A = this chain, B = another copy of it.
Amino acid sequence: MSASPESLQPLDVSLSPQERFEEYLQTRGLRQTSQRKFLIDRVFSEHDHFDADELIDRLPRRGEDNYVSPATVYRTLREFVDAGLLNSFQLDGRTVFELDYGYPQHDHLYCTRCRKLLEFQSETLMQIRDDVAADLGFRVASHRMIIQGVCRECSKNRRKKRKHDLV
């Protein structure tokens, strides 16, 4: 019913994210630019959750090769979401992105101590979702569930001194 984060494996997909995005651009008369190519490579080479700021921080600085301006990063992240490559959701007031294309549907546990996001999958959850929606005559497009609390590691280290005292 539920799965540990390690078991969240990529799905088989016929097109790479890059190819999928090319297709998306072409069908809309948009262009393949060096910035878009660079960003899609970057984003799909790391499999973690991130927000716009974190991504920008890890990108080349102004003046360096492959610099992409913040405005373009924001614009491009939005396109990735439109294209179905990324998912985004709000957490703690920030917009968190995660890989969507090539990854199975899942939900999250959020540790309010270390701010880590764990993932889980549950068939039963989908079933409840659909039952509730059917009851109310609601047509489901998607859902988002986040369980908040404290992860195993943070529970263990409760009384120890922590390097990163985030909350």
Contacts and interface: CB of A to CB of B under 8 A. Distances in A.
Interface of A: 1-2, 4, 90-91, 93, 95, 109, 111-112, 118, 120, 122, 124-125, 128-129, 131-133, 135-152, 155
A136 B152 contact: yes
A122 B146 CA distance: 15
B142 A148 contact: yes
Contacts of A144: 144-146, 148
Given A124-B124, A128-B124, A138-B111, A133 B152 contact: no
A132 B155 contact: no
A133 B149 CA distance: 9
Interface centre among A131, A132, A149 (most CB of B within 10 A): A132
A133 B125 CA distance: 14
Contacts of A149: 133, 138-142
Contacts of A138: 109, 111, 118, 147, 149-152
Nearest to A140: B149
A112 B140 CA distance: 10
5 contacts: A1-B132, A2-B128, A122-B128, A125-B125, A142-B148
